[in-house]
Each structure stands twice: as C-alpha cells, then as structure tokens.
Amino acid sequence: MAANEQLAMLVQPDRVHRAVYADPDVFDLEMERIFGRAWLLLGHESQVKKTGDYFTTRMGREPVIVVREKQITVLINRCAHRGAKVCAEGTGNTERFVCPYHGWSYDCGGALKAVPFESGYERKNLSELKLKPVPRVAVYRGFIFASLAAQGESLLDFLGNAKTSFDDFVDRAPGGELEVAGGVFKHVYHGNWKLMLENHLDGAHPAWVHASSVAVARAAPEPGAPGEERYADIAVRQMRQNGAPDSVWEAIGMWTTPRGHGYMGDYHSDDRLVAGMGSPVFGQYRNTLVKEHGEKRADEILRVTLWNTIVYPNCSFMSQFRQLRIIHPLAVDRSVVYTYSFRMPKAPAAMFRDTVAFANVVNGNGSWVLTDDLEVYERLQNGLASGEVDWVYIGRGYGRDVAERGATGTSEIYIRAQMKAWLSYMTRDA
Amino acid sequence: MTPEQFLYHEAHLLDTQRYEEWLSLFTEDATYWVPLEPGQKDPHETSSLIYDDRTLLELRVKQFRHPRAHARAPLPRTVHQVGNIVVRDLLVTSTLAVVEFRNEKQKLWAGLVEHQLRRNSDSFRIARKRIDLVNSEGEIEGITILL
C-alpha cells in the first residue's frame, strides 16, 4: 500500500484527491489507521444500565459487544475457539456469552468460563483464551467511546472543544438525564463514509439539495399557534428553515478542532423549531430547568443553539431534538448510518413526541429530506469514480479562517479540518 | 366496488404514477404509516420509517412532482403486487410486494398491509393505511416510492 509520502500528496490545503473517497486500498488503510486508532463513539450508558446489559455494534469492520459488568467493557465479538460471533446481533441481558458452535462460554468481562470436552486440552493453553477486550474504553457525560489502539491520547484531549457540544446535549436535560428511546433508524447509502460527515456541516447545500422540500413546506399550512401545534408543524418548520436566506448561513458559527471535529451554531433558536418559549410544554420544560439551576443558568443553557456536531470519524449529533447518528463504513462506496433518539426522562413527556416527529421527517428512511441527501451522496460517489478528473475542491473560505473558526458559516473549514485529521491518522507511525 | 377491487385500483393508480388521484382516495383525517418496529403500537412514542397525517401526505405527493426532487427525478417505475386480501367488514389486510426501478437500480419491498376503509357511495376511502415492511428494522436504503 501507499507510502506515507504518497498519502500526503492526496490531501492539500484546499483540495483533496478523489482516491480519498474512491480507492478501495485507501479504504482498507482507513479501517486500520483511522477506525483502528481514533476514539469511536459506540453508544450511551442508558443502553447498558444494569449488570449484564449488552448491545452489539461495530468499530470500523470489527464486530464488538458493549456490555456492563462492574464497568462498561467492550469485547471483540469473536469466539477464541473457531472464530464464530459468540453474540447474535442486537441487545439483551446475560450472564454468559455462549458460542453457538461448540458451546464455549464467556462471562461479561470476556473470561472463558466453560469449554465442553475440556479434558482434551492442556489447561495452560486454555488459560490464555478469552473474548478479546478492546483496550481503551471511556465515558464522557454518559456517552461511551472506545479505541482499538492500546496507546493514545485521552478521550478529553481527543474531544477538545467538541466536548462543549456534549455538555450542551446533557445540560439541556433536566437532572442531566438522557436515555436512548423510540427505535433506531438504519439507512444505507451508496457512498463513502466521509460524505455524510462533510454534509452535516455544509450550510451551502440545503438550498439546493433540499429545494423541493423547502418549496413544498413554504406552501404548507401555517404551523399552529403556541398550544395548538399539530404533528406536521415540526416537519414544516424544519423544512422551511432549510430554505433560510444565504445571510443566515453566512452568519452561523462554524468551529473545528485539531482532531477533525466540527460544530455549527446559531442556525436555529428553539422558537424556530417548535412553538418555542410560547408553547406551554416548552414553558413547563424551562421551569424544570429553572427549578434545578435558577433563572440565569437555565437561560444560559437554553441560549446555546448549537446545531450539528461532528465527532470525527464516526458520529454526528444535535441536541435540540436529541438526535445522534453513528456511521459504519461498509466499503469504500457503501455506508450505513444508525440514528438514535434520546428522551429526557425528567422533561415533559410531550417533548419526546416532538423528538419523534422530528426524527421521522429528517432521519426516517422515508424522509424526503434525508432521501435527497442520500441521492446526492450516490451522485458524488459516481462522479468521483471518474478517473479523468483527480481533484475535489474544498477552497471556500480558505485563507480567511481565524484559528479554528470559519470566517463565515459557509467556510469549508470543516472539510479542511476533517482532511487534516485524516492525514494525521493515516500517516502517523502508531 | 368490492374492497378487493378497491385495493387493486389503488395499486394501479400508484403504478401509473397517478399520485394525486391516489391521494384523493384518503379521507381528510387519514394517516399513512410505515412503522419502524414490528407490532409497533404508537406512532408518537416510537419513530416510524414514514408517519404522515393527511397534511404531510399531501406535501409528500407535491414534493414528488417538484423538478428538483433529486431522489424522485426521474420518477421511479413500480409494480405493486397485492395479495392475500382478507376483508373483515371495513378492515382489510393484505400482502404487498413492490418492484421498483429507477436509475438502473431495481429494488424489492415487501410487507403486510392494513387498510381501514370508509364507505364512499359505491366505493371507499382510506382512513388509515399501515404497511409493515418485512425489513423495517434492517439496514435498508431510503424509501423514495409510495408503498
């Protein structure tokens, strides 16, 4: 595979070679050097509340089990005997993972507890066998991360300023309590995994990609007054907001970090999303926060209006409707995205209905917003397969960024930051 | 018209891209639902692949016709194959298999369907349509057709 010098030629300050998106050899190396090194977001503590609770997921191409023993452990889902996945895909609670092939069983820490026909083995040979634990696991404010690399920076160093987005997510929840709820969307698209991470911070795309849903929403019935909201209102508001004037997109904040994370702000206020402060439910919610923190702090919390945050290389989330997406690369031109919704157990129950309404319209497999994005990812991948033109141009705002912040909200600083991180992971020795 | 004939008529409207006529089959208070989870009870506490009230369903059909509806231009060609129709008064259950073709890609969707009908002179209108796709919880592509 390509030497580091060759890789370095693929990423330049304001352009990227198409091989980064389209070359299967580059993809294989990404799985090893990016998904095999970086902290990856795997889920949330609420998915493994009790001892023995587990869920399966992937770290790049590695099948893993996230399980709560005394603490949260992540195990490679592969029997030490003949290599079968010991745990079927899904969630559950167990004391033992039992391999379906020959019945080797493991406890929730991965230790081998029972082997049929044990007398056929030398005891010392069995003593070293186990479900391999993923070497590093860490939790930030309830969000579970793991890294396949034994050595590396701490989770906090990795997150940098992007941790403030998680703070916003959790601070908005009364009692700081959140739980995954309401089902998981899993959408596949025919495009490289990086295309989604780039798109989620792209303020220049909605007017074009989402032109049809914007146009239709503008002609829709006006959303109901506070207290008289209808189910369709959240969809209509969100789609209309995608058609915000250029000046709004230029004015949103756009921040990045050295590890390729990025987040955008100031695009939405709660007023634009739901009936907002005037809504009785939102008022009740605000009162809960006021009781807990006092007026001043409650307003500080609600005044943070971050929109999407990207945690490179596998996660995108937004706190106002509590949506979190994890991307699993399947091949250089194929990806699957899992979308989770979060409930705030101590907030008015009706707020979760708004979350569900929002999830359906924006992230549902049948959403006319999402499906237009997926169509464009596929068009990108098809175009990038062309060998006649090598470069992808990422120069909007180049040379004008101030430190790690875009000079305008539509600066492509977020792609440049992701590519810088990409190159750093790909060319580092370990 | 029998409920069976009505379901065939509905499928025919979709397969001949007469989406506005299809929409007019629905009552003003209708819902169109493609649940995420098998046996899903509630469209408000659990997400859905699609959950449209009449307002959103109307917007969905309008969006189909917009020149920049990228995922729907050109419009997909479909065959809706309706089978196993069981009529219990105005509640009709059936199976549905849809072959979709668009942009050199052919897709297959299948599910169990429930129609709650209301009488409308010698025909019917749809008060509730629910489609439980066999792969609703799977890793699936975007749904850009009307089921």
Residue to substitute from B50, B70, B72, B102, interface A, most A β-carbons within 10 A: B70
Any CB–CB contact under 8 A between A231 and chain B? Answer: yes
Q: Does residue A175 sit in the same domain as residue A264?
A: yes
Q: Which of A83, A110, A140 is the last residue of a domain?
A: A140
| Nearest-by-CA chain A residue for B41 | A182
User: What one-character DSSP code corresponds to residue B140?
Assistant: B
Give the strands of the sheet with A11-12, arranged side by side: A11-12, A15-17, A391-393
Q: Does residue A166 sit in the same domain as residue A69?
A: no
User: What's the total number of domains in chain A?
Assistant: 2
Q: Does residue A183 sit in the same domain as residue A220?
A: yes
Q: CA of B137, closest CA in chain A: separation in Å?
A: 7
Within 8 A of B137 by CB-CB distance, chain A residues are: 183-184, 186
Q: Does residue A189 sit in the same domain as residue A294?
A: yes
Is A185 in Cβ contact with B66 (below 8 Å)?
Answer: no
| Nearest-by-CA chain A residue for B144 | A366
Q: Which of A111, A140, A169 is the last residue of a domain?
A: A140
pLDDT mean for each 10 residues of chain A (430 residues): 84 97 97 98 98 98 96 98 95 97 97 95 93 98 98 97 94 97 98 98 95 95 86 92 91 92 72 61 93 93 88 96 97 98 96 94 94 97 96 95 85 96 91
- CATH number, domain at A49? 2.102.10.10
Q: Decide yes or no: CATH 3.10.450.50 for domain B3-133.
A: yes
Q: CA of B1, closest CA in chain A: separation in Å?
A: 31
Taking only residues 341 to 370 of chain A, the set having a beta carbon closer than 8 angstroms to any beta carbon of chain B reads 341, 352-353, 356-357, 359-361, 363-368, 370
- CATH number, domain at A408? 3.90.380.10
How far apart, in whole angstroms, are the C-alpha atoms of residue B32 and residue B34? 7
Tokens coding A95: 């004391």
A358: left (phi over 0), alpha (psi -120 to 50) or beta: alpha
Q: CA of A188, closest CA in chain B: separation in Å?
A: 5
| Nearest-by-CA chain B residue for A334 | B141
Is A187 in Cβ contact with B139 (below 8 Å)?
Answer: yes
Q: Which of A140, A170, A196 is the last residue of a domain?
A: A140
* Residue boundaries of the structural domains of chain B: 3-133
The arithmetic mean of pLDDT across residues B93-115, rounded, is: 97
pTM above 0.80, yes or no: yes
Q: CA of A364, closest CA in chain B: separation in Å?
A: 5
Any CB–CB contact under 8 A between A214 and chain B? Answer: no
Q: Does residue A193 sit in the same domain as residue A338?
A: yes
Residues from B in contact with A at Cβ < 8 Å = 34, 36-37, 40, 43-51, 53, 55-56, 59-60, 62-63, 66-72, 137-144
Residue A247 sits at φ, ψ, to 5 deg, of: -60, -35
Within 8 A of A365 by CB-CB distance, chain B residues are: 49-50, 140-143
Tokens coding A286: 């605000």
Q: Does residue A58 sit in the same domain as residue A87?
A: yes
Quote the pLDDT of residue A220. Answer: 93
Domain region containing A373: 160-427
Within 8 A of B62 by CB-CB distance, chain A residues are: 216, 219
Please report the number of interchain residue pairs, chain A to chain B, with beta-carbon separation below 8 angstroms.
120
Quote the pLDDT of residue A275. Answer: 44
Any CB–CB contact under 8 A between A183 and chain B? Answer: yes
| Nearest-by-CA chain A residue for B48 | A360
Mean residue pLDDT across chain B? 97
* pLDDT surpassing 70 at residue B1: yes
Quote the pLDDT of residue A429. Answer: 78
Quote the pLDDT of residue A271. Answer: 52
Q: Does residue A276 sit in the same domain as residue A318?
A: yes
Quote the pLDDT of residue A92. Answer: 97
| Nearest-by-CA chain B residue for A358 | B47
Q: CA of A206, closest CA in chain B: separation in Å?
A: 12
Q: Name the residue among B66, B71, B137 with its Cβ closest to that of A216.
A: B66
| Nearest-by-CA chain B residue for A235 | B56
